[in-house]
Chain A
């Protein structure tokens, strides 16, 4: 059984913590670029950590659609369900 989106969201939030320099509260609608002020390199490092944790591949093709933490959790859920 794959974890629920909420469980995935909680794990993703933990993985984001090291990149959350300003300790912004993480909600599903928190954005990487504006709220967390991450540049594209940090986003890539963060995604790599998420990929390793869930043992999944997040293709570059879907990156433009992943603006918020919630969207990443959804995407991981979809990939795990495939």
Chain B
């Protein structure tokens, strides 16, 4: 008998099929209508969106909407071409200029998603004789960039500069001339912890390694002008490549990489996830461009972190076992087992709060999380409502005493 290609997914499907159908299934939610960055109608019920990545609430920003509408009318619904063939409009070039200005760097390349930016940059920069050294808790797009490339891949212990240094020293001892790319994230999205970029980058520089920081969750949120954690920590000079996304703070879709490397533009010729896919639609490009301009001068990040601290400290004071501290936009309660986590999620949904049920392998250390990501657009009333429901259901399910 030949093998059914789907056989390998049997255990996954079995697990999935244990979940209820319909409204109570955490992985099949769809929104009937979206009211604002923080509210939608789900299952006919008005629901607070507590788990989006809409950190700045940009999705309904008047100026972004206007820019997108204008671009849609003038340039149509899509480019139907790759960046290198038919798919570069003035808007794409302007967006790259905006990124250069935003970061104060020489080069910027826009990709169709952040996932593709990581795939492209990591897989292309690190060739067969090179090494990629990644944090063990890296996002799937970083792991997939490694899998797509031909470099030797080495992991170091999450946020541990000493462990990184040991691994780099070992590589250098064996291979004194190899190219090395160290990849870290500004903020790790599940528990909201920041990388100690200074220490990690200094360990990297000691061994002549390049440093790439994925600021997907930190753009807009951290740093004087919203550039991310490297700016916040004052260590941008130690970073060779910054990757980011338009799908979170920027409120639309798309990804980018910026750098001062003099040969950076070569990527436009050799980076397959840049070349072999269609470019972003003009309306997306226009709203991303406007949102970046707004983010640079905005103080929304102050409001965002205040919101997050209010929820985090409220939950911590109520006695929850927290995975987060409130120093990032993430609030995550650690739940002991999967069944309780699913029940918790279902109860919250029925009370009109849509949070993220985060499960392994997306989470580190096999954790089950009730995870919220706050928005600057959340009102204090919404946060207090979330808090009230978290506590009531926590008591009901004996997560709280």
Contact = CB atoms under 8 A, between A and B. Distances in A.
Contact of A61 (B152, B163, B167): B152
Interface of B is mostly: helix
Interface string B153-179: 111010000010011001100100000
A21 B166 CA distance: 28
B221 interface: no
A52 B157 CA distance: 13
Contacts of B316: none
A55 B167 CA distance: 9
A44 B155 contact: yes
Interface in A6-56: 39-41, 44, 48, 51-52, 55-56
Given A44-B136, A52-B166, A59 B365 contact: no
Contacts of B171: 57
B146 interface: yes
A59 B366 contact: no
Q: In which size bucket is the chain B interface?
A: 10 to 19
A60 interface: yes
Contact of B170 (A41, A56, A60): A56
Among B155, B171, B365, the most chain A Cβ lie within 10 Å of the Cβ of B155
Contacts of A39: 366
Contact of A41 (B152, B167, B174, B366): B366
Interface residues of A, number: 14
Contact of B146 (A52, A57, A60, A82): A60
A57 B157 contact: no
Contacts of A48: 157, 163
Interface in B12-34: none
B170 A57 contact: yes
Interface string B167-207: 10011001000000000000000000000000000000000
B363 to A, nearest CB: 11
A61 B153 contact: yes
B154 A60 contact: yes
10 contacts: A40-B361, A48-B157, A48-B163, A57-B152, A57-B171, A59-B152, A59-B154, A60-B146, A60-B153, A61-B152
Given A41-B366, A57-B167, A61-B153, 19 more contacts: A39-B366, A40-B361, A41-B365, A44-B155, A48-B157, A48-B163, A51-B170, A52-B166, A55-B170, A57-B154, A57-B170, A57-B171, A59-B152, A59-B153, A59-B154, A60-B146, A60-B153, A61-B152, A82-B174
Interface of A: 39-41, 44, 48, 51-52, 55-57, 59-61, 82
